[in-house]
């Protein structure tokens, strides 16, 4: 193992980590807003990837152009999921935690079933796109362009999210609703509307990630499942309730995954991520930046 | 407790005995192997879900990694038999004990975690074990282990011709898991667990040793789950990491209890009796023509029941039970 290979794989780990952060951002946002973990988050990613793929396959729209469309579609989808399912799940008087977990889990299973039914279990991929398959060389390190683009998008998304949460009225409404959903009703903020928009925003973020992922990753009905666990670990590592914890969590997960792949066989690369998660929560039971 | 409660417990015991006898008689009339197979699976999931319910339902520590104990039970039995010729009965006991010990060893750091941090830790640990088994050459790696079947034998607990012995063993297992739950419900542990579930801080201040009661629940739950895993290995006579330690198993163990009524005595049984035949039937009748339909049916059911009946389907049968059940 030369220094070059180490730097090379850490660099790709860093890019992947930023993308993991983007995938996890929506999950963290929703949890921070209303203490609900969306167990269908991976399936949100899956439908975003399919949407990107079909826009390409039927209308030859490049993923770069379809990304905003897919994000907008996911925004609507997320808000609808909140209004149809989650709104009722959070009202449950008995077994509140369990109802939350299993109502979104059930949704995940339905979505996976629908994808198998309509799209078949076949693996699909976007064969040619503006960025696909290209690499750039920066001081001797080769970086795949789609991942590089994804990483930059992730950074921009987090910056935008920061300003959005801290500088806009809607962001303030989000924060206020999260602090005290009862009190905001008194000042005329509709709690359900804020939650629905929060779910929409969370889904739009994962939609953006899905559109980029579709450039360089296979699309199939179970694709969400493999990234969902990474997203949960990313959010928990950063600490539930902290959107920027997800950013840090993503970076750590990406770097740990890349370093594990250097030492262990590739099939064991996730073991490193899991081990780091356990290590962190055993020392800090609320994750790195968690407040809850 | 009041006599009402004692009466209910006596009635539960009688009802369970009646159900067990009826179930034992069913194979006399149902000779179809396909149906018998579904009955075996239903009983197995009833037992597994009952075991899961002890830790996750009664004690409130939601585990989505119980496939680990199921897989350990299956692997211990299969490895001891194929590598050292140890009879499955000892393997079963060994697998149970190993799982109980591992559950406590893992519980030691994990029970400090709360809520979603705990749930994710259980998933992550089971996934790690899955990956390690997939890469463990001596244990057959990803290909798994084929248990050689040489004719029918109770000693070796393998039957090539008939499903009936498996059916009766699964029935006994489901009865044991039910009885253990029934017995624990009214024991010191049962009360501790419910206190820990409802409010760990309050329980601690009232003198419940929260940590120890979680450890106890984990050990009992893991032991029984592993016995189920050993049984499954003998039943299918072929195991591989994905089929005994995959995440689906953790979910499949939890679902009957969740749908039937989590933290209740009858919930897992009721859930398994509804869910498992439904899954198997949709899979074989619709599954062939349109892939994924079984998942759609299954998932829709989960969403609807968890929204409409958060206390589970047992609430439909006895409204009075709702108060005591939680």
What tens digit of pLDDT does each residue of B208-245 get?
A: 788 888 898 999 999 999 999 999 998 988 899 988 99
User: Which residues in chain A (168-227) have CB-CB distances under 8 A to chain B?
Assistant: 221, 225
User: Which residues in chain A (1-60) have CB-CB distances under 8 A to chain B?
Assistant: 31, 37
* Closest-CA distance of chain A to residue B121, Å: 7
Question: DSSP per residue over B148-173, as a string?
Answer: ---S-BTTTTB-SS-SHHHHHHHHHH
> In the structure, what pLDDT confidence band is assigned to residue A74 with cuts at 50, 70 and 90?
very high
Q: In this predicted structure, what is the pLDDT of residue B287? A: 58
CB-CB contact of A124 with A219 (8 Å): yes
For residue B320, give its domain range. 3-325
> In the structure, what pLDDT confidence band is assigned to residue B326 with cuts at 50, 70 and 90?
very low
Domains of chain A: 3-283 (1.10.3470)
Of A73-77, A101-105, B236-240, B322-326, give the range with the top mean pLDDT: A73-77
Tell me whether residues B299 and A111 touch, CB distance under 8 A: yes
Q: In this predicted structure, what is the pLDDT of residue B324? A: 47
Flag whether residue A279 sits within 8 Å of chain B, measured between CB atoms: no
Flag whether residue B150 sits within 8 Å of chain A, measured between CB atoms: no
Q: Exposed/middle/buried for B19, CB within 10 Å: 0-12, 13-18, 19+?
A: middle
What tens digit of pLDDT does each residue of B180-213 get?
A: 999 998 888 888 888 888 888 888 888 778 888 8
ipTM for this model: 0.88
- A interface mutation test: which of B56, B295, B315, B325 has the most A CBs within 10 A? B295
DSSP A140: T
> In the structure, what pLDDT confidence band is assigned to residue B323 with cuts at 50, 70 and 90?
very low
CB-CB contact of A57 with A119 (8 Å): no
Flag whether residue B127 sits within 8 Å of chain A, measured between CB atoms: yes
DSSP A39: T
Tell me whether residues A113 and B62 touch, CB distance under 8 A: no
Q: What is the mean pLDDT of chain A?
A: 89
Please tell me the distance from the alpha carbon of residue A284 to that of residue B235, in angstroms, as a whole number. 43
> In the structure, what pLDDT confidence band is assigned to residue B25 with cuts at 50, 70 and 90?
confident
Run of H or E residues at B238: strand B238-239
Residue of B nearest to A265 (CA): B135
Higher pLDDT, B82 or A24: A24
Higher pLDDT, B2 or B4: B4
B76: tokens are 């211990």
Percent of chain B at pLDDT above 90? Answer: 39
Flag whether residue B257 sits within 8 Å of chain A, measured between CB atoms: no
pTM of the model: 0.89
What tens digit of pLDDT does each residue of B10-22 get?
A: 888 888 989 988 9
Percent of chain B at pLDDT above 70? Answer: 95
B56-71 burial: b if 16+ Cβ within 10 Å, else e: bbbbbbbbbbbbbbbb
What tens digit of pLDDT does each residue of B54-112 get?
A: 999 888 888 999 999 999 999 999 999 888 888 888 889 999 999 999 999 999 999 88
DSSP A290: -
Is B305 a residue whose pLDDT tops 70? yes
Residue of A nearest to B125 (CA): A274
Nearest-CA neighbor of B234 among B24, B52, B40? B40
Q: In this predicted structure, what is the pLDDT of residue B321? A: 46
What tens digit of pLDDT does each residue of B259-276 get?
A: 898 888 999 999 999 988
* Closest-CA distance of chain B to residue A214, Å: 22
Percent of chain A at pLDDT above 90? Answer: 54
Tell me whether residues A98 and B306 touch, CB distance under 8 A: yes
Q: What is the mean pLDDT of chain B?
A: 86
Tell me whether residues A116 and B295 touch, CB distance under 8 A: yes
Tell me whether residues A274 and B298 touch, CB distance under 8 A: no
Percent of chain A at pLDDT above 70? Answer: 99
Flag whether residue B86 sits within 8 Å of chain A, measured between CB atoms: no
Q: Residue B11 belongs to a domain with what CATH number?
A: 1.10.3470
Of A179-188, A266-275, B273-282, B305-314, give the range with the top mean pLDDT: A266-275
Please tell me the distance from the alpha carbon of residue B96 to that of residue B14, in angstroms, as a whole number. 29
Tell me which long-range contacts B108-113 makes (C-beta under 8 A, separation of at least 24).
B108/B215, B109/A278, B109/A282, B111/B61, B111/B211, B111/B214, B111/B215, B111/B218, B112/A282, B112/A285, B113/A281, B113/A285
Higher pLDDT, B32 or B171: B171
Q: In this predicted structure, what is the pLDDT of residue A49? A: 96
Residue of B nearest to A37 (CA): B116
> In the structure, what pLDDT confidence band is assigned to residue B325 with cuts at 50, 70 and 90?
very low
> In the structure, what pLDDT confidence band is assigned to residue A241 with cuts at 50, 70 and 90?
confident
> In the structure, what pLDDT confidence band is assigned to residue A277 with cuts at 50, 70 and 90?
very high
- A14-23, A166-175, A194-203, B109-118: lowest mean pLDDT where? A166-175
Q: In this predicted structure, what is the pLDDT of residue B211? A: 86
Residue of B nearest to A96 (CA): B310
* Closest-CA distance of chain A to residue B106, Å: 11
Report chain B residues whose CB lies below 8 A from the CB of A270. 127-128, 131
* Beta-carbon contacts of residue A151 (< 8 Å; ≥ 6 apart): A14, A15, A18, A19
Tell me whether residues A106 and B123 touch, CB distance under 8 A: no
CB-CB contact of B68 with B126 (8 Å): yes
Q: In this predicted structure, what is the pLDDT of residue B96? A: 94
User: Which residues in chain B (231-250) have CB-CB distances under 8 A to chain A?
Assistant: 247
Q: In this predicted structure, what is the pLDDT of residue B263? A: 87
Residue of B nearest to A86 (CA): B307
Per the structure, how many domains does chain B have?
1
Please tell me the distance from the alpha carbon of residue B134 to that of residue B137, in angstroms, as a whole number. 8
């Amino acid at each position: 193992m030369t220094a070059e290979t180490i730097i090379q794989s850490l660099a790709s780990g860093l890019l992947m980590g930023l993308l993991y952060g983007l995938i996890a951002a929506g999950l963290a946002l929703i949890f921070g807003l209303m203490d609900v973990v969306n167990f269908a988050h991976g399936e949100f990613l899956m439908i975003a990837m399919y949407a990107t793929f079909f826009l390409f396959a039927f209308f030859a729209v490049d993923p770069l152009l379809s990304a905003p469309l897919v994000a907008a579609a996911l925004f609507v989808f997320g808000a609808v999921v909140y209004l149809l399912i989650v709104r009722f799940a959070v009202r449950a008087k008995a077994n509140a935690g369990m109802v939350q977990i299993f109502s979104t889990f059930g949704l995940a299973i339905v979505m996976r079933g629908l994808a198998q039914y309509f799209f078949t279990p076949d693996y699909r991929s976007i064969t040619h796109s503006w960025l696909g398959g290209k690499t750039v060389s920066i001081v001797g390190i080769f970086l795949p362009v789609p991942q590089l683009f994804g990483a930059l998008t992730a950074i921009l998304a987090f910056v935008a999210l920061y300003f959005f949460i801290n500088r806009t009225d809607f962001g303030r409404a989000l924060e206020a609703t999260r602090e005290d959903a009862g009190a905001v009703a008194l000042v005329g903020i509709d709690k359900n509307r804020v939650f629905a928009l929060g779910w929409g925003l969370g889904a739009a973020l994962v939609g953006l990630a899905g559109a980029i992922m579709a450039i360089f990753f296979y699309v199939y009905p179970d694709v969400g499942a493999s990234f969902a666990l990474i997203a949960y670990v990313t959010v928990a590592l950063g600490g539930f309730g902290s959107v920027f914890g997800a950013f840090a969590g993503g970076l750590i997960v990406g770097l740990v995954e890349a370093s594990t792949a250097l030492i262990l066989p590739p099939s064991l690369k996730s073991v490193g991520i899991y081990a780091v998660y356990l290590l962190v929560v055993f020392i800090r039971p609320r994750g790195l930046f968690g407040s809850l | 407790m009041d006599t009402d409660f004692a009466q209910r417990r006596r009635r539960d015991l009688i009802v369970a005995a009646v159900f067990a006898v009826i179930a034992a008689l069913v194979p006399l009339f149902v000779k179809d192997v396909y149906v018998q197979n579904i009955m075996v699976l239903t009983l197995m999931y009833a037992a597994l879900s009952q075991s899961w319910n002890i830790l996750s339902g009664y004690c409130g520590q939601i585990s989505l990694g119980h496939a680990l104990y199921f897989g350990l039970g299956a692997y211990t039995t299969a490895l001891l038999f194929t590598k050292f010729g140890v009879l499955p009965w000892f393997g079963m006991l060994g697998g149970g004990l190993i799982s109980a010990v591992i559950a406590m060893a893992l519980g030691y750091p994990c029970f400090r975690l709360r809520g979603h941090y705990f749930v994710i830790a259980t998933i992550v640990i089971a996934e790690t074990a899955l990956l390690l088994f997939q890469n463990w050459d001596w244990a057959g790696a990803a290909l798994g282990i084929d248990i050689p079947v040489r004719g029918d034998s109770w000693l070796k607990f393998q039957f090539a011709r008939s499903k009936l012995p498996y059916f009766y063993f699964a029935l006994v297992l489901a009865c044991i898991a039910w009885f253990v739950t029934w017995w624990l419900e009214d024991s010191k542990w049962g009360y501790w667990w419910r206190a820990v579930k409802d409010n760990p801080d309050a329980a601690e201040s009232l003198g419940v040793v929260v940590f120890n009661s979680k450890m106890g629940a984990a050990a009992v739950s893991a032991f029984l789950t592993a016995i189920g895993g050993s049984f499954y290995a003998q039943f299918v006579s072929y195991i591989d990491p994905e089929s005994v330690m995959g995440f689906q198993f953790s979910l499949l163990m939890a679902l009957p209890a969740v749908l039937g009524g989590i933290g209740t005595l009858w919930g897992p049984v009721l859930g398994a009796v509804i869910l498992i035949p439904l899954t198997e039937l949709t899979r074989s009748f619709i599954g062939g023509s349109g892939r994924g339909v079984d998942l759609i049916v299954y998932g829709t059911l989960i969403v609807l029941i968890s929204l409409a009946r958060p206390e589970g389907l047992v609430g439909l049968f006895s409204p009075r039970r709702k108060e005591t059940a939680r």
